[in-house]
Amino acid sequence: MLLMVGLGNPGAKYAGNRHNIGFMAVDRIAVDHGFSPWKSRFQGLVAEGRLGEQRVTALKPQSFMNLSGQSVGEAMRYLKLTPAEVLVLHDELDLAPGTCRLKTGGGHAGHNGLRSIHQHIGEDYRRLRVGIGHPGHKDKVSGYVLSDFAKAEEAMLDDLLRGISDGAEALARGDGAAFGTALAARVALAPQKPSRSVEKPAEAGTKPDLQPLGMADRLRALGNRFH
């Protein structure tokens, strides 16, 4: 059993925000892989299904980002899972838009959703860090993450979400290489600016991040509809 958690804020006001890319990713996975309809449970919305041989409970906490851990902790305890059986999909400022990295354990880097999850289940869970880029100055971060993706990013975002969904079976079984291959088939490499800061070496006892998996060409087929 795997608890797959997408992070975001509930309500139509936040639906297209960069901070909600975790919600967007689990929504795409649930649709593409035939999960059950969403229902209220564990202070969130839950859908159930399978990814390959793995039974999966998808969870979107509805307690707002900074209280996400309440929902995750309740679901994990009810399902009798360990933190190692929890996978969290979330936005990452220090990765360029269209890139992903897998990580197990480590700090929360100031992310309010991860900070809350740390408080309720510890840090030894898996994460898919989905890049949204950085606005360039820390004073702009709050407004940036709570703003919608730009029109010019729609094709990139659509490719990214489809790529994450294509690789979801590999992601569920912990096969990072196969996940990266599936993502790369959807997301084309394109020149990109360096991230805002160089990431620190992995903390003792944690697994290092995988290599960035690529960025969509933002100029490609902007006529594609964003779902």
Positions marked catalytic: 19
Reduced to 3 states, what is the DSSP secondary structure of residue 61?
Answer: strand
Task: Specify whether the CB–CB gap between 203 and 107 falls below 8 A.
Answer: yes
Task: Say which residues have a Cβ less than 8 Å from residue 171's Cβ, sequence separation at least 6.
Answer: 51, 87, 102, 128, 164, 179
Calculate the CA dihedral of residues 125, 171, 103, 90 and round it to 10 degrees: -80
The alpha-carbon radius of gyration of the chain (Å, integer) is 16
| Tokens encoding 197 | 């800061």
Q: Which residues, listed in sequence order, are joined to residue 3 by a DSSP beta bridge?
A: 57, 86
Task: Say which residues have a Cβ less than 8 Å from residue 141's Cβ, sequence separation at least 6.
Answer: 93, 134, 135
Task: Specify whether the CB–CB gap between 141 and 135 falls below 8 A.
Answer: yes
Task: Specify whether the CB–CB gap between 171 and 33 falls below 8 A.
Answer: no
